[in-house]
Amino acid sequence: MTLWQILSEAITQATGSPFTPADRRAAGGGCINEATVLQGTDGRRFFVKLNRPELAEMFAAEAEGLHALREPGAIRVPEPLCHGTAAGRAYLVMEHIPLGGPRDARRFGEQLARLHQCTRERFGWHRDNTIGSTPQINTWESDWVTFWRQHRLGYQLERARRQGGGRGLVQAVEALMEVLPAFFDGYTPRPSLLHGDLWGGNQDADAQGNPVIFDPAVYFGDREADVAMTELFGGFGPDFYAAYDAVWPRDPGYRVRRDLYNLYHLLNHFNLFGGGYAGQSERLARRLLAAARG
Ligand code: ADP
């Protein structure tokens, strides 16, 4: 059987309604995977992500992440239908949502704050996942500083070291990891349900203007880490932050911690793409270090 025949059977099983493919189109825009919109003779559409078979676990984790984000009903998230390997490819099939509708930053800010109000006792998640294609470690911890030091900065730094990140970078981030508690004076983060990879490219709006988030790297962590990433490549506009704060105001120390949280993503960018991200990460780590030493 071809890949598309196997996927059609899997969709039939998952939806309980016979699916016969009529058309498929490559969907652009993804950074990591090959994406296709698959349409049936009955007009139903599905969004299919494909990659090498070794990456099947990445899609399993993504499917679980999408489920977790859908559960509170705070924000629209595509429903994952099935995943696995077929005809030498790993696949993930989900609900297709027509995107590109009118953006409503205010509604999005409110909804994200409501998502973050879903909390747990500890930081982490029941499984590891990926951030881009880099593994993301989600071992449960009751202490956020330990979690951020070990499973976020420490893990990315180790990969950066192996990829030739350079002594300056390694020394700066190691020194920063020593002084992490300084960033949490008078602030106790709660373990909130996070999207985990919330840059502008992973959010959009459906045809009715409902905010939609996708491509997550879910875990329970300080909500400021999600908000920080919205600012990494430009920011979502003042209405978004005002609406977020109206539901659950950020702590005044957010501004400094924002950079600490985005350092994780910059290190990951170095690990994924190399180049100037090493220097950018080192400069940021040194700035944070200076701030911590006051
Ligand atoms: P990648 O994991 O390769 O980065 P994404 O999950 O970000 O891929 O998807 C690539 C693009 O496809 C997104 O930028 C978005 O525009 C679109 N997209 C993602 N999920 C859906 C969906 N369920 N329905 C319709 N379009 C989607």
Q: What is residue 19's predicted lDDT score, i.e. its pLDDT?
A: 97
Answer whether 113's CB lies under 8 Å from 244's CB: yes
ipTM of the complex in this document: 0.98
Atom number, ligand 1, closest to the C-alpha of residue 100: 16
Residue 286: per-residue pLDDT? 98
* 23: number of Cβ within 10 Å: 10
131 Cβ partners below 8 Å, 6+ apart? Answer: 196, 197, 217, 265, 268
Name the stretches of the chain with pLDDT < 70: 29
Span from the CA of 256 to the centroid of ligand 1 (angstroms)? 31
Instruction: Identify whether 197 is a catalytic site residue.
Output: yes
pLDDT value of position 31: 75
Q: What pLDDT was estimated at residue 28?
A: 77
The pLDDT value recorded for residue 32 is 81
- State the catalytic residue, choosing from 42, 104, 143, 197: 197
Q: Among 154, 183, 179, which residue's Cα sits nearest to residue 267? A: 154
pTM: 0.97
Report pLDDT for 175: 98
Determine the pLDDT at residue 29: 67
User: Which of 114, 119, 111 is CA-nearest to residue 240?
Assistant: 111
Alpha helices (H) along 132-276: 144-147, 155-162, 167-178, 223-230, 238-247, 254-273
d(Cα 89, Cα 34) in Å, to the nearest integer? 11
**What are 93-140's pLDDT values in tens digits?**
999 999 999 999 999 999 999 999 999 999 999 999 999 999 999 999
CA of 186 from ligand 1 middle (Å) equals: 39
Q: In what order do the strands lie in the sheet with 45-51?
A: 21-27, 34-40, 45-51, 89-95, 80-86
Measured distance CA(219)–CA(65) in Å, rounded: 8
The model's pLDDT over 7-35, given as tens digits with 9 standing for 90+, comes to: 999 999 999 999 999 999 999 767 788 99
Q: Any residues with Cβ below 6 Å from ligand 1, and which?
A: 27, 29-33, 35, 47, 78, 94-97, 99, 201-202, 204, 214-215
